[in-house]
Structure 1
Amino acid sequence: MPSAAERTRTLVQSTCSAVLLVPGLDGARPDQLVPLARSVGTDGELFLVFPADAPPVRAATHAQDDELAAVLEITDVAPVSVPHRIRGRAWVSGWLTHAPGLAERGLMTLRLEVGEVSVDDLWGASRVEPAEFAQASPDPLVGYEVELLQHLHAAHSEQVQELRSLLGERARPADGEDGGDGGDGTPGAAVPVALDRFGLRVRFTGAQCFDARFDFPEPVADVVGLRRAMHTLFEAAAQ
């Protein structure tokens, strides 16, 4: 499984929504606290780009040499329609300062020196040491996950449904429960809900709603390796 540090780096460097929470900015509109871009520096610090007149920029200017505490809160929502769509959240807290000269005219880059990191996602809740966060790498599929999950859901829903056959007893209803979404034996939906280099997570809905994890034979490094891994999974389910 991906480590907590890797999962957090993946969320930070993904397209998930994020908001920068700064004490004293309670009156700011939510959209004014959303960075236009974010990246991670070589030492694990976060660089957040805002309009030059955004409330966080003004707060950092006013603080000057004082330490300005801030928290970047990231919310990860599944890119496909599925019950319980929030897949996880991450929080990176630390101290905010200006990073002049890094943004184009009309924008300002703020530097968040990392003090604490935590994540609460489909794998569970964990704290991450700043050094571990700095050394971790994002999942290699992070830039493709949204498109890949949507493609699997739209074009390969039957094959994703067939993965249920690999679950054995787990996919069978417990005593007193029906086996589908209406008691007629028809299985509920099977929705691909998360994807990383180690495997695919599918959410099975109906009378029972549960996630199942399908590990790849070996971690994949790119989309080419992913295609081979998915082909192997689908072949196993079809047998």
Structure 2
Amino acid sequence: MLLIPGAAATRPDQLMPEARSVGPDGEIFLVFPSDSPVVRAATHAQDDELAAVLELTDVAPVSVPNRIRGRAWVSGWVTCVPGVTEPGRMMVRLEVGEASVDDLWGAEDVEPEEFARAHPDPLVAHEAELLQHLHSGHGEQVRGLYTLLGERAEDVRRAGDRAVPLALDRFGLRVRFTRAGGGTPVDRSFDARFEFPEPVRDVVGLRRAMHTLFEAAAD
């Protein structure tokens, strides 16, 4: 959602862009209906700087306890970019002033220059499909990764934990183990990270890396 102080919206979906992309200099382009509160506010501001915060929520594409994997906030200034979308739509440009991320890997601030230099993970476009495939087609092998957990491995084996692949990137796979028994699902869950021997560049490299992990767990 793009949050603008003073921009009235009757529904949260009015603040959700229909599309978003990142420009070569790190600016963020967002597409909204022409009559959206965001576009009205940006048009009314004209040459004034219109402060805004883009709030993003990352939800796991598989069913696990506590599905929110992280949140990010990108604050900056919004201006309209007319004439580049179809009729009835307006593109707005968010110039990034600062950003922060709070996710499975921890909380961290991101400088605008770092954001502009960053490249998407090569698996990002396929992550949801790949996680769902691992969960439905390789569930036992994913659970078998517990043998790589060292001292915790025996506890996981005795408890009969459920294992769900939670996150995937070029560096490795994160699995959420959920123990059967009392307490809330969150209390019974813990995450384990399984690093690949080297960063993967594409889906072909991922297949090799996963095969290596499954072989190591089976030994």
Measured against the shorter chain, the TM-score band is over 0.9
1:189 to 150, 156, 162: 162
Superposition pairs of residues 1-239 of structure 1, within 5 angstroms: 19-173=1-155, 185-206=158-179, 208-239=188-219
What amino acid maps onto 1:210 in structure 2? F
State the Cα distance separating 1:211 from its structure 2 match: 0.7
- Partner in structure 2 of residue 5 of structure 1: none
8 Å CA contact retained: 2:51, 2:75: yes
- Alignment deviations for residues 132-186 of structure 1 (CA, whole Å, 9 cap, x no partner): 000010111000000000110011000001000011202344xxxxx67xxxx34
| Runs of 5+ consecutive residues of structure 1 not aligned to the other structure | 1-18, 174-178
Which one has more relative contact order, counting CA pairs under 8 Å at least 6 apart?
A: 1
| Runs of 5+ consecutive residues of structure 2 not aligned to the other structure | 181-187
The 3-state SS of whatever aligns with 2:79 is strand
Name the CA distance, whole Å, in 2 between partners of 1:60 and 1:28. Answer: 18
State the Cα distance separating 1:27 from its structure 2 match: 3.7
- Alignment deviations for residues 2-50 of structure 1 (CA, whole Å, 9 cap, x no partner): xxxxxxxxxxxxxxxxx11011124431011000000001110000000
What amino acid maps onto 2:10 in structure 1? A
Q: TM-score when scaled to structure 2?
A: 0.94
- Higher mean displacement: 52-61 or 27-36: 27-36
Aligned pair count?
212
The 3-state SS of whatever aligns with 2:130 is helix
- Percent identity, aligned pairs only, is 74
Runs of 4+, deviation exceeding 2 Å: 25-28, 170-173
